[in-house]
């Protein structure tokens, strides 16, 4: 395959999107997909370890990137799937609204170019308004005047002013019973990604992170209110996820949790529309074919019984977190040639489809698969050979967290909430062990994102010893887990997302 024939490859991370909600509400992407990996598991339960895992295929005790060392410095660029593609002539770009997957924590060094987008910088060429707010020494009218002066002195004054106006509108909507006028960055990410891919002369490998499904949750313009039905004055910051997590069941929080579930579902529907539009724009704006690998870094706990009534994604390796979508979606039928044999994955007939065309529908890979093989998948798509999705089915998959990822609940036992946790998948079983010695076995053969505990079964002898090395010990933790030295603007963003 020559450079002019190589497709653009976009790893599109729908941050915090769990498999069951995606299957129900991302109907456009599900229909457009050429291949759907139905048994995909993430390598970690929250952003830092899962992003490190997506880059390297390894768990946090191996990468050295986890709750107590959140920078990506321990990862060698050559150990990622990005570097080999660059040697094939690919240009690499990252467009991200996740502060961990950004220059703040060293994620940018894996790419030729990284473009961070946030609520205070929706137009990336303009100034970051939150940085101005954090650095200012004035208040009131003088503060607004200072902002206008700084914006007008910027290389892109109008876009800087627009960033300020959009941030102010968001702020006003939180204080008044009105719908939030903007999303959480999804449309801005899609526009920027479209430009970065279509304006390049050669093939592009891109990583994009869309944070709209991540908390906090509130109704915003563009959501389908027939899905959520939540009033515009509700905001999930009105209660703390950590308080739910230490409660006995959902208790007094049940109605608020139900509102979050409905807003979350509507947001996945919204992201489905955003990415569907992006696919159409890429098809119309570039002669080169593009292939999107639509997945999530992890899912989300939504307070269900099978998740221990937990919310968010702190201190957990539930199926709500680890079972993630993974759809291979090309911009046209010509973009992806599949290597198939013997069995039609879509119909169960004696012949597999030779191509991913609309007549046969998507090819469903129903066995176990893992983000550990993302690099192999990307390299396979970029190679001269047809892509065999069934080669990525696994007999075993792993996941791990080292530490909580979020603050310890008030009055909570730090040794419990900050413990290391590991799982091993084999067939229809999920085996669990934590650093305190607790073990469990789950049946994961049922509906997506749900495991059923099997109290009469035990973890096979030697299973975890063969799958993992030693736990990360206390003396290997650098002590910066919740006090990472970041600027005031980054700290404000982390607080808004619930990490501090």
Q: Which two tokens stand for residue 17?
A: 């999107």
Dist CA 130 CA 136 (whole Å): 10
Residue in this structure with the two tokens 């997302």, named with its chain if needed: 497
Question: What pLDDT is stored for residue 341 in this prediction?
Answer: 59
Burial of residue 33 (number of CB atoms within 10 Å: 0-12, 13-18, 19+):
buried
Question: What pLDDT is stored for residue 60 in this prediction?
Answer: 98
DSSP E strand stretches across 272-357 = 290-295, 301-302, 311-312, 326-330
Question: What pLDDT is stored for residue 475 in this prediction?
Answer: 62
Helix (H, G, I), strand (E, B) or coil at 401: strand
- Point out which residues pair with 431 in neighbouring strands: 424, 441
Burial of residue 236 (number of CB atoms within 10 Å: 0-12, 13-18, 19+):
buried
**Would you say 437 and 464 are in contact if contact means Cβ atoms under 8 Å apart?**
no
Task: Give tens-digit pLDDT for 364-390.
Answer: 999 999 999 999 999 999 998 999 999
Q: Which two tokens stand for residue 152?
A: 């007008």
Q: 376-383 contacts: CB < 8 A, separation 24 or more?
A: 377/293, 378/9, 378/11, 378/81, 378/85, 378/205, 378/293, 379/81, 379/84, 379/85, 381/7, 381/9, 381/291, 381/328, 381/336, 382/6, 382/7, 382/9, 382/85, 382/88, 382/90, 382/203, 382/205, 383/1
Question: What pLDDT is stored for residue 481 in this prediction?
Answer: 46
pLDDT-flagged residues of the chain (< 70): 1-4, 134-141, 340-360, 475-485, 500
Helix (H, G, I), strand (E, B) or coil at 433: strand
Question: What pLDDT is stored for residue 49 in this prediction?
Answer: 98
Question: What pLDDT is stored for residue 1 in this prediction?
Answer: 53
Question: What pLDDT is stored for residue 89 in this prediction?
Answer: 95
Question: What pLDDT is stored for residue 122 in this prediction?
Answer: 85
Question: What pLDDT is stored for residue 3 in this prediction?
Answer: 59
Task: Give tens-digit pLDDT for 192-233.
Answer: 999 999 999 999 999 999 999 999 999 999 999 999 999 999
Question: What pLDDT is stored for residue 347 in this prediction?
Answer: 44
Helix (H, G, I), strand (E, B) or coil at 193: helix
Question: What pLDDT is stored for residue 135 in this prediction?
Answer: 65
pTM equals 0.92
Question: What pLDDT is stored for residue 355 in this prediction?
Answer: 42
Question: What pLDDT is stored for residue 64 in this prediction?
Answer: 96
Residue in this structure with the two tokens 């109290």, named with its chain if needed: 455
Question: What pLDDT is stored for residue 87 in this prediction?
Answer: 94
> For residue 269, what are the CA distances in angstroms to 26, 181, 276?
6, 17, 11
Dist CA 59 CA 53 (whole Å): 6
- In order of start, what are the domains of the chain with their CATH numbers? 8-119+182-395 (3.40.720.10), 125-176 (no CATH)
Quick one: CA dihedral 217, 222, 225, 227, positive or negative? negative
């Amino acid at each position: 395959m020559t450079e002019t024939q190589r497709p653009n490859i976009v790893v599109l991370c729908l941050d915090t999107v769990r498999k069951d909600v995606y299957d129900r509400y991302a109907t456009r992407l599900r229909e457009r997909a050429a291949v759907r990996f139905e048994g995909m598991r993430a390598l970690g339960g929250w952003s830092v370890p899962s992003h490190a895992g997506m880059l390297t295929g390894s768990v946090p005790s191996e990468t050295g990137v986890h709750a107590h060392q959140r920078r990506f410095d321990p990862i060698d660029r050559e150990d990622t799937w990005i570097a080999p593609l660059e040697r094939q002539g690919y240009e690499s770009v990252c467009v991200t609204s996740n502060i961990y997957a950004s220059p703040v924590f060293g994620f940018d060094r894996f790419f030729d170019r990284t473009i961070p987008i946030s609520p205070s910088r929706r137009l990336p060429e303009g100034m970051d308004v939150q940085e101005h707010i954090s650095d200012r020494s004035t208040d009131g009218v003088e503060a607004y005047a200072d902002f206008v002066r700084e914006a007008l002195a910027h290389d892109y004054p109008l876009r800087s002013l627009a960033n300020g106006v959009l941030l102010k509108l968001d702020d006003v909507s939180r204080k008044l019973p009105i719908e939030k006028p903007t999303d959480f960055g999804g449309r801005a990410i899609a526009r920027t990604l479209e430009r970065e891919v279509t304006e390049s002369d050669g093939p592009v490998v891109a990583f994009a992170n869309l944070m709209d499904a991540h908390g906090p949750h509130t109704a915003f313009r563009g959501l389908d209110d027939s899905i959520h039905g939540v009033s515009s004055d509700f905001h999930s910051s009105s209660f703390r996820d950590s308080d739910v997590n230490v409660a006995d069941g959902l208790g007094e929080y049940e109605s608020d949790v139900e509102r979050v579930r409905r807003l979350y579902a509507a947001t996945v529907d919204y992201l489905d529309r955003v990415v569907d539009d992006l696919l159409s724009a890429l098809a119309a704006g570039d002669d080169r074919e593009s292939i999107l690998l639509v997945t999530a870094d992890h899912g989300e706990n939504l307070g269900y019984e099978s998740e221990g009534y937990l919310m968010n994604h702190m201190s957990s390796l539930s199926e709500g977190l680890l079972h993630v979508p993974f759809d291979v979606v090309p911009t046209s039928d010509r973009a992806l040639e599949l290597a198939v044999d013997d069995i039609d994955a879509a119909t169960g007939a004696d012949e597999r489809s030779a191509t991913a065309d609309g007549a046969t529908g998507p090819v469903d890979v129903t066995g176990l698969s893992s983000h550990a093989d993302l690099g192999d998948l990307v390299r396979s798509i970029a190679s001269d050979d047809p892509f065999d999705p069934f080669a990525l089915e696994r007999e075993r998959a792993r996941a791990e967290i080292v530490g909580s990822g979020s603050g310890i609940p008030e009055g909570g036992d730090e040794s419990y909430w900050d413990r290391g946790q590991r799982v091993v998948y084999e067939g229809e079983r999920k085996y669990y062990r934590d650093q305190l010695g607790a073990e469990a076995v789950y049946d994961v053969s049922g509906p997506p994102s749900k495991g059923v505990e099997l109290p009469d079964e035990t973890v096979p002898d030697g299973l975890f010893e063969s799958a993992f090395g030693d736990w990360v010990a206390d003396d290997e933790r650098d002590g910066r887990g919740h006090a990472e030295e970041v600027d005031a603007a980054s700290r404000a963003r982390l607080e808004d997302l619930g990490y501090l």
